[in-house]
Chain A
Amino acid sequence: MLRQVDTTDRPPAGAARFDIAREDLDERTCVIAVGGDLDLSSAPQLKWMLLDALEEGHGRLVLDLSRATFMDSTALGVMIGVNRSLSLGARLAIAGARHNVLNIFELSGMDGAFAMFGTLEEALAYVRGDAAEDR
């Protein structure tokens, strides 16, 4: 039993804990929430989650980063790629990013490329076209 706890609860070095969940609010709007570290190993999951949602017709995407502990350039690259592939009328908003994650956006100069909001509500309002982005 003890051994089981040891092996399952402690992540190996370099492999951070990561979880991702998707919630469809309506037929066009969905929220994808990410917890843990967004890095080289978890970035592909984020990429396919976002692309699947877009393909299923969800043109109003909110990426909730409130539980994300940090983000590296790979994950940023995924977001840049998805942002570029948005079709006309589709919107992607980033909500609730913590300071260190915001810093990544700022340092990379990509804070101007995304619609970033402090709260999930602001982000939802933006993707639904109810609110202008705040840059």
Chain B
Amino acid sequence: MARRTSEPRAPSRLSSRVAAAVLLACCALLLLAAPIAVARTSHSGHSQQGGDPSQTPPVAEPAAPAPVTAPVPGPAPVPPQPTQAEGGGRHGAGRESPAGSPRQRHAGARQQAAAQATSTAGQGAAAADQSTSSQPQAATGQAPSTSSASADSAPGSLTHRREERERHNKEERERHKEEALRHKEAKKAERSDESSKPGEEGSSSPEQVAEDTQGASALATPAPSGAVATIASSSSSRAPVTTSTPSVAGVSQQAVDGHRTRVARRPRTSRTHARTTNARGLTTAAAAASAAPALALRTTAHTGHGGSSGGGSRATKKPTTSSPLVTTITKIVGVVPTPIRVLIAVLAALALALAVRSRFSAARARRLERQRGQLLEDVGLLQAALLPVAPERLGPVGTSAAYKPADGPGAGGDFYDVFALEDGQLAVIVGDVSGHGRHALPHTALLRFTLRAYLEAGLSPRDAVQTAGAVLDRQLGGQFATVVAATYNPRERLLVYACAGHPAPMVLGARSDASTIEPVTASSSPPIGVGMRTGIRQTTVSVPGRAQVCFYTDGVTEARVGTELFGAERLRGTLAELGTGASAVAVLDGVVERADAHPDDMAACLLRVEGGEDPPEVILEELELDRDSAGSRRTERFLLACGVERDELAEVIHAARAAAGRDGTAVLECNHAQGAPHVTLRREHLRYLHVPRTEVEVSR
């Protein structure tokens, strides 16, 4: 039952768990996505402004070095730049101008000296304009100032820088410092790049120009590209400190990152371009455009060459790569009103609770299942202890046993045992404790093992039953038990059994007429536990030929056929039909087949004795007498049933009374071996036993 109920429960629990998990996952996604998306809204906005994401992929590796160098230039310049970038590219250009102008002126001086490459610079500026044309922000005012200052820096030396710085100090000290430091860095980068990669110049020049100009546009681009230029410049100037300003990176990096790779590889070329541009002096603006970014880019390049690589820039770049998804989620989350968010939170909590609950219940179910398994195992062990598996053969005798409880699979009040004795005999115990079911179990076990112990100790069946009856009479708690104990000696082919309120075993010979023995039933022993002396009778059967001996409990003969009892005759017919090779299981199955109902437990134990056709016969009946029973009507009935002539009764009873009166007990043996009964009296040896009989006395 338990299994049947637990099985349908399992899928429902599973499905509820799955549902809870899905719900939880959805809610968690929404809840988690919301803050992230909101946080990224700004990034995405900037990225849209600052540049196209398509440029970013190639940047990834070379961009990495940038953040590492960040500490070197000092964090001072960082704060203003993010604000510029966030505040919007177009205004950033205006603010950038002071920083740009000194440098540009300086660059202008240098460019004049260099006097070269203006055409390329001009091309670069054009390219920058094209690339940034999507942001048509106007920083027109800026253009002149930057252009005037554009001459500068690319070829600048340290002394140059110092002069520059002095000038700047007059105008704007802090800004000047920053720029000076940055220039220094750029210089170093330049040099190192030059030394490391001298030969790349020519091949990469067009790209480089584009980069440079793009960078330059940040400082000096004329009207149309101003906004982008600002962003780019801010990014390029900020490049060393990228890590500390991740939010800006998303924007500015785009402008620069795409080119940083190439810049890192070809710093010298860019520098050359800058020089050439300046030298040609075609456009100061263009020159400035090339110069300023060149420095900035070189800074990054330098850091890149420094060998340190970090994930900072990569990390800052990531948000922009997932921007489509983020944007979508942002849009979705943006429209979700607060009540719905609360609802989602509640649902999430509910899902969590469900998940927890299902987890607990699953654990509980597993625990119960485990306990059930253990219980079944225990019950199986106990049942095996009470209803052992009979060996198929004990010596020359085939043995089998079977049990059919009236209700349920557990052991009830019936019990049996088949086992070998040391002297080559085998022993059989079959019994029935009053009532049936689990309440009878303790007494069942007690009786079975007590009887077994006495039989193994060498007592005869009658002595074993008598001793057990004496010992256990008051231990059955008001219940009583019927038992039959038997031994079979294969060498002498003798079956000896003693009953206590129990039906005698059925012994069928080999003949087709299914002849059975007719034991004396008069003066049978009462059951164990009824307060009476038991174990007073014993029967010895000779089994010279093939035979089957069937021990059974009264559940078998009290099965119902219509309104009648199944009875001993039907059992005999069933045994005869099945033949001597039948097993106990087959016998009980046959009974169940023939009967309409079996309201009580049924147990059967079968011995199969091989041999010829000689029929079994009872050769000895014994009755133990005490002083009270010696002269009773029961004794008379017993003697009469044994075939003692009525006129001999008085003599026999007189002798028995005398013997019992003298010794307390006496045993009447009625021997049928020679045809006519031969009655003998012998003294009983178990007189030391206390035999309870007080209650019966009272009832009289």
Given A72-B558, A81-B478, check contact A113 B696 (CB 8 Å).
yes
* CB-based contact A112/B560 at 8 Å: no
* CB-based contact A40/B482 at 8 Å: no
As a 0/1 sequence over residues 95 to 135 of chain A, the CB contacts with chain B under 8 angstroms (1 = contact) are 00000000100111111110100000000000000000111
Selected from A73, A81, A134, the residue in CB contact (under 8 A) with B554 is A73
- Smallest distance from the beta carbon of B314 to chain A beta carbons, Å? 87
* CB-based contact A108/B633 at 8 Å: no
Stretch in B228-236, B396-404, B526-534 touching the partner: B526-534
* CB-based contact A14/B597 at 8 Å: yes
Chain B residues, CB < 8 A from A109:
499-501, 523-527, 532, 534, 537
Given A14-B596, A40-B600, A135-B632, check contact A108 B526 (CB 8 Å).
yes
| Interface status of B521 (Cβ within 8 A of chain A) | yes
As a 0/1 sequence over residues 565 to 584 of chain B, the CB contacts with chain A under 8 angstroms (1 = contact) are 10000000000000000000
Closest B residue to A89 by CB, please name it.
Answer: B698
Chain B residues, CB < 8 A from A3:
none
| Interface status of B173 (Cβ within 8 A of chain A) | no
- Smallest distance from the beta carbon of A17 to chain B beta carbons, Å? 8
Max chain B Cβ within 10 angstroms of own Cβ: one of A11, A15, A73, A113 = A73
* CB-based contact A83/B699 at 8 Å: yes
Given A109-B526, A134-B633, check contact A77 B699 (CB 8 Å).
no
Given A40-B600, A72-B558, check contact A84 B695 (CB 8 Å).
yes
What CA separation (Å) do A48 and B69 show in the bound complex? 104
| Interface status of A92 (Cβ within 8 A of chain B) | yes
Max chain B Cβ within 10 angstroms of own Cβ: one of A81, A83, A109 = A109
Selected from A40, A92, A133, A135, the residue in CB contact (under 8 A) with B599 is A40
* CB-based contact A13/B524 at 8 Å: no
Closest B residue to A73 by CB, please name it.
Answer: B554
* CB-based contact B524/A37 at 8 Å: no
| Interface status of B634 (Cβ within 8 A of chain A) | yes
What CA separation (Å) do A96 and B499 show in the bound complex? 27
| Interface status of B315 (Cβ within 8 A of chain A) | no
Given A108-B524, A108-B527, check contact A115 B700 (CB 8 Å).
yes
As a 0/1 sequence over residues 1 to 22 of chain A, the CB contacts with chain B under 8 angstroms (1 = contact) are 0000000000101111100000
| Interface status of A64 (Cβ within 8 A of chain B) | no
Given A14-B599, A16-B563, A80-B530, check contact A106 B699 (CB 8 Å).
no
Q: How large is the interface on A (under 10, 10 to 19, 20 to 34, 35 or more residues)?
A: 35 or more
Closest A residue to B633 by CB, please name it.
Answer: A135
Q: How many residues of B contact A (CB 8 A)?
A: 42
* CB-based contact A13/B501 at 8 Å: no
User: Which DSSP category, helix, strand, loop or mixed, fits chain B's interface?
Assistant: loop
- Smallest distance from the beta carbon of B503 to chain A beta carbons, Å? 6
| Interface status of B480 (Cβ within 8 A of chain A) | yes
* CB-based contact B563/A11 at 8 Å: yes
Selected from A81, A86, A110, the residue in CB contact (under 8 A) with B698 is A86
- Smallest distance from the beta carbon of A76 to chain B beta carbons, Å? 9
What CA separation (Å) do A45 and B380 show in the bound complex? 36
Interface set, chain B 499-545, CB cutoff 8 A to A: 499-503, 521-527, 530-532, 534, 537
As a 0/1 sequence over residues 63 to 90 of chain A, the CB contacts with chain B under 8 angstroms (1 = contact) are 0000000101110010011011010100
Chain B residues, CB < 8 A from A13:
560, 562-563, 596-597
* CB-based contact A92/B633 at 8 Å: no
Chain B residues, CB < 8 A from A92:
699
Given A13-B560, A73-B482, A86-B698, check contact A107 B530 (CB 8 Å).
no
- Smallest distance from the beta carbon of A18 to chain B beta carbons, Å? 11
* CB-based contact A108/B563 at 8 Å: no
Selected from A91, A107, A135, the residue in CB contact (under 8 A) with B503 is A107
12 intermolecular pairs with C-beta atoms under 8 Å apart: A11-B563, A13-B563, A15-B563, A39-B599, A73-B558, A73-B600, A77-B480, A81-B478, A84-B478, A91-B699, A92-B699, A113-B696
Which B residues have a C-beta under 8 Å from some C-beta of A? Answer: 432, 434-435, 478, 480, 482, 499-503, 521-527, 530-532, 534, 537, 554, 558, 560, 562-563, 565, 596-597, 599-600, 629, 632-634, 695-696, 698-700
Given A13-B596, A109-B499, list of 19 further CB < 8 A pairs?
A13-B563, A14-B563, A14-B596, A14-B599, A15-B563, A40-B558, A40-B599, A40-B600, A74-B600, A84-B699, A106-B521, A107-B524, A108-B526, A108-B527, A109-B501, A109-B523, A109-B525, A112-B523, A113-B532
